[in-house]
Amino acid sequence: MQHISEIAPLRAQLNAWRHAGERVVLVPTMGNLHAGHRRLVEIACGQGDHVVATVFVNPTQFGPGEDFSSYPRTLDADMEGLRAAGADLLFAPATAVIYPGDATPETWVEPPVALANILCGAFRPGHFRGVATVVAKLFNLVQPDVAVFGEKDWQQLMVIRRLVADLNFPVEIVGVPTVREADGLAMSSRNGYLSAEERAVAPALYAALQTAVGRLQAGALIDDVECATIQAIDGAGLRAEYVSVRRADDLGDPTRDDRALVILAAARLGKARLIDNIVLQRD
């Protein structure tokens, strides 16, 4: 696996692959990789000829008081994991490579307010602007045929799909189902913030969503399910930020006739902010 940190050698290698008619697949990450990330790379290997993984802790998607400075940087371990999973090239640039001259750019990609300022966006103002901007930059630099993202960040996946559609990026977006621990907790780089006691409590978030899915499929009212799920999360010892049932394909408010739904939740537990979701079909 090649390790590249500058744009010129990255483009040289990508141009060589393209001239040979080979498909390039992108897997963007912020590093501190776990089995969920490795699954993304494994899926990517079946989507094209060469897999480019990126490790970049993007400052523009962190808000004031968030964990940008403390976010774990584990590049050596990440390289070993990516190599074992089958990546062909790791692009791990410095901040100044992605944002020349200033980590706060003057040119941004602004996702639609109705998509980016709800759910996590309501609690993390500007987060999805930072996500959309850095993903657009990576699409420009790598020009992949396919890009692979995890479904745990469902709202992010919807923002990226909209970005591709609205800006005419010729990139196929592949979503990969959430990889979970044996007790149901969604794998996340931020799970490392949990103490042993908090880690024992954390699976209650997914358990509450599973109960909610059963109630929705049995015909319960959405408002009632959302309220009951918040109570269950809080009662387990977490602090719910939101629980929301949305249309799965665009995060719009569901009507009585909508069948493809997603229930999304975010909760605080100690120093960690946990997110999760379940996609469901309503009868």
Q: Cα–Cα–Cα angle for 98, 100, 101, nearest 5°?
A: 145
Active site residues: 37
Question: Could you tell me the CATH number of the domain that includes residue 269?
Answer: 3.30.1300.10
In a domain, 184, yes or no: no
197 and 140 within one domain: no
Closest CA to 150 of 171, 172, 179: 179
pLDDT for res 103: 65
pLDDT for res 12: 99
The residue among 149, 176, 203 that closes a domain is 176
In a domain, 116, yes or no: yes
The residue among 152, 176, 200 that closes a domain is 176
HEC secondary structure over the chain = CEEECCHHHHHHHHHHHHHCCCCEEEEEECCCCCHHHHHHHHHHHCCCCEEEEEECCCHHHCCCCCCCCCCCCCHHHHHHHHHHHCCCEEECCCHHHHCCCCCCCCCCCCCCHHHHCCCHHHHCCCHHHHHHHHHHHHHHHHCCCEEEEECCCHHHHHHHHHHHHHCCCCCEEEEECCCECCCCCECCHHHHHCCHHHHHHCCHHHHHHHHHHHHHHCCCCHHHHHHHHHHHHHHCCCEEEEEEEEECCCCCCCCCCCCEEEEEEEEEECCEEEEEEEEEECC
Number of domains in the chain: 2
Q: Which domain holds residue 197?
A: 189-278
193 and 169 within one domain: no
In a domain, 183, yes or no: no
pLDDT for res 181: 98
The residue among 176, 197, 227 that closes a domain is 176
Beta bridge partners of 239: 268
Q: Are 236 and 256 in contact (CB under 8 A)?
A: no
In a domain, 126, yes or no: yes
* pLDDT, one tens digit for every residue, the chain (283 residues): 999 999 999 999 999 999 999 999 999 999 999 999 999 999 999 999 999 999 999 999 999 989 999 899 999 999 999 999 999 999 999 999 999 986 678 899 999 999 999 999 999 999 999 999 999 999 999 999 999 999 999 999 999 999 999 999 999 999 999 999 999 999 999 999 999 999 999 999 999 999 999 999 999 999 999 999 999 999 999 999 999 999 999 999 999 999 999 999 999 999 999 999 999 999 8
User: Does pTM surpass 0.75?
Assistant: yes
Closest CA to 137 of 79, 59, 80, 69: 59
227 and 163 within one domain: no
Question: Could you tell me the CATH number of the domain that includes residue 134?
Answer: 3.40.50.620
Q: What are phi and psi of 89, to 5 degrees?
A: -150, 135
206 and 231 within one domain: yes
91 and 142 within one domain: yes
254 and 214 within one domain: yes
220 and 165 within one domain: no
